[in-house]
Structure 1
Amino acid sequence: MTTSRELTRTPNLATLYPKALLTGFTRRGGELPDAEYLRTGLTVDRAHLAAYDRLCGFGLRDELPVTYPHVLAFPLQVKLMTDPGFPFALPGLVHVANRITQRRALSADEPLTLRVRALDLRPHERGSQFDVRSEVLVDGQAVWTDVSTYLRRDGSSGGGGGGTREGEPPAAPEPTALWRMPADLGRRYAAISGDRNPIHLYPLAARLFGFRRAIAHGMWSKARCVAAFEGRLPERLTVEARFKLPVLLPATAAFTSARESDGWRFALRDSRTGRPHLDGTISLA
């Protein structure tokens, strides 16, 4: 039976990250906790929304970008994954995929309820995989759902990385756009999203986790891709992304998109080598 824990305020990430570092050494795997966190009566900070829109390439509107509620739910996700009963240390988890389903557009003036839980722990050839499911409810109805899939590598998987390993990439199509990503992009997105994982902040911190330079957040990359379709998206939609090789900052990435029968397919690749950073689809929900 799921245990619901209601929060009266958003968890403080400034205290949760040190906790994650200090307690990570004691976690040895096991079952996911049968618990969820609820945060009711949440209202959107319009200045925060505007900063997110600008950084990710969205226009300034009252309607929330489909990826924006992810940053609202993120503190609850971290709270859940730093609880004593959570089986895996937060440092070292790799965000490999994200799927968002929106059943109707959300407005910045609506009071929101957030609900977060972890589920579906399963074996993976490189370790263990599980999902963190986040929902936005309005008047008791779930109108937005986010499923983030995380990989916990075992000791034999080797090397650090930001997604799946790839061989030589196939010939890439002509890009729709080239995006220049500055060296401070990770720090700028961290200031908005609260995701201050050291791999995104500074080259020296990233090297401690096996990266030559700081890497871009996967959810920034996904949001930037979705922003490229602004004005063409329906209210009801599902946006899926699979995170591949990390974007080492600074970088220039090539964005490609193609129309399909029920939506679009899109990708983000290294502009020089064609190696994949992200593949995704947008479809009707």
Structure 2
Amino acid sequence: MNAEIVNQLPTMAQVYAKAVKTLRRKGKNPVLPERTLVYRQASADAQKLAEFRRAVGAGMNGQLPSLYVHSLAFPLAMSLMVRDDFPLPLLGMIHLTNEVTVNRPLGEQESFDIEVSAEKLRAHRKGVTCDLVVRILTDGKQRMQLRSTFLSTAATMDGPKPAKEEHEEFVPGLPTAQWRLSADTGRVWAAVAGDYNPIHLSKLSAKALGMPKAIAHGIYLAARALAGIEPVGVGYEWEIKFMSPVTLPATVHLQFEAEDDEFEVIAWNPRKLKPHFELELELLD
């Protein structure tokens, strides 16, 4: 891929300021740009890190939470999507999964390089999906990879569509935790992470993009679930699958399970008995 050095990290506000022009993007058989954006010598902002920890209940342990690194680097990844050669609209993209591998956690004082690219464009029964990939390196060695999969319903691809996945009937267990999320949860998290996607901010702005109400940020939900189980000083990997959005305000029931070197978190709507997400974490050998 073509590497392009970026001298300044964009903000999410700058990205969304350019997002409206991408709404016109539609069509068949889109092609992703072969481009990697590179930013050298990034580092944590002490105030933003403290705000992140307070927002999700993460402890002070001397290392950077994986999703703090994601929130710092992701505006660069999103900036790929507002460039003229990116074929899919940014607004309206649906967040499906995150897969994260932490080869070795980053210390709070470490500087690191960020590389971002888009890959794996593929057909989906509702449109197309693609992955935005963030790679974190120190001294040329990969320390972390964060892969986010998004669905766009604005484009299609020729060929057979994947069959709808068959899911077993969801039967919730006994909750071990409960979250009460207020109507302004999306706005509060946007101020922390800089993600001002309108589907998270208010009922009115969410309706403009086809959602009945504002929904909680997936990254906020994942970061809060990880706050108590993210390991310290060792390599690990985790994956989250989003099943149904958390519409705000909300009460969310969760079940945390630990077994040997693995953790599982399941979250659901206690009234409708619909799962919101499943998160699995395990230590690396």
Task: Decide: shared fold, TM above 0.5.
Answer: yes
Matches within 5 A, 1:181-260: 181-230=181-230, 235-260=234-259
User: For residue 160 of structure 1, what is the aligned residue in structure 2?
Assistant: none
CA distance in 2, matches of 1:65, 1:13: 20
3-state DSSP class of the match of 1:67?
helix
After superposition, the C-alpha distances for 1:63-120 in whole angstroms (9 at most, x for unaligned) are: 1112211101111111111110001000111110001110112111111111100001
> How far apart, in 1, do the equivalents of 2:227 and 2:104 lie?
17
| Residue segments in structure 2 that go unaligned for 5+ positions in a row | 157-163
Report how far residue 266 of structure 1 moved. 1.2
> 2:100 maps to what in 1?
100
Equivalent residue, structure 2, for 1:111: 111
Classify 1:233/1:13 alpha carbon distance in 2 versus 1 (closer, same or farther; 3 Å).
closer
Is residue 28 of structure 1 aligned with residue 27 of structure 2? yes
2:62 equivalent in structure 1 = 62
Q: Is the 8 A contact 2:129 2:151 kept in 1?
A: yes
Query: Counterparts of 1:190 and 1:235 in 2: how far apart (Å)?
Result: 30
2:170–2:275 contact (8 Å) kept in structure 1: no
Bigger shift: residues 17-26 or 240-249: 17-26
| Secondary structure at the counterpart of residue 98 of structure 1 | strand
Aligned residue in 2 for 1:161: none
Give 1:272 deviation, angstroms.
Answer: 2.3
2: distance between equivalents of 1:195 and 1:107? 24
2:159 corresponds in structure 1 to: none
The alpha-carbon deviation at position 262 of structure 1 amounts to 4.0
Structure 1 stretches of 4+ moved >3 Å: 26-29, 164-169
Shift of 1:23: 3.2
* Normalised TM-score (structure 1): 0.91
Shift of 1:228: 2.7
1:50 positional shift = 0.5
2-structure distance, mates of 1:250, 1:199:
14
Moved more, 188-197 or 86-95: 188-197
The question of whether the paired residues in 2 share the 8 Å contact of 1:67 and 1:100 is answered with no
- Aligned amino acid, residue 4 of structure 2: R
Alignment check: 8 A CA contact 1:176 1:255 kept: yes
Deviation (angstroms), 1:126:
1.5
Contact 1:169 1:274 (8 Å CA) reproduced: no
Q: Give the SS at the match of 1:100.
A: strand
Residue 47 of structure 2 corresponds to: 47
The amino acid across from 1:130 in the alignment is C
Q: Is 1:13 aligned with 2:19?
A: no
Q: Which runs of 5+ in 1 are unaligned?
A: 157-163
Aligned amino acid, residue 69 of structure 1: V
In the aligned structure 1, how far is the partner of 2:155 from the partner of 2:62? 47
* 1:19-76 deviations in Å (ceiling 9; x for gaps): 1112321453511000011111112101100000110110134311122111011111
Shift of 1:153: 1.7
- Superposed displacement of residue 257, structure 1: 1.9
Task: Give the equivalent residue in structure 1 for 2:279.
Answer: 280
- After TM superposition, the structure 1 = structure 2 runs for residues 112-191 of structure 1, keeping only pairs within 5 Å, are 112-154=112-154, 169-191=169-191
Deviation at 1:186, TM superposition (A): 0.6
User: Higher mean Cα deviation, 138-147 or 269-278?
Assistant: 269-278
RMSD after superposition:
2.1
Structure 2: distance between partners of 1:63 and 1:3: 32
TM-score w.r.t. length of structure 2: 0.91
The separation in 1 between residues aligned to 2:100 and 2:9, in whole angstroms, is 21
Quote the sequence identity (%).
34
Q: Answer yes or no: is the 8 Å Cα contact 1:245–1:277 preserved in 2.
A: yes
Cα separation, 2, equivalents of 1:22 and 1:209: 15
Of residues 110-119 and 260-269 in structure 1, the stretch that sits farther from structure 2 once superposed is 260-269
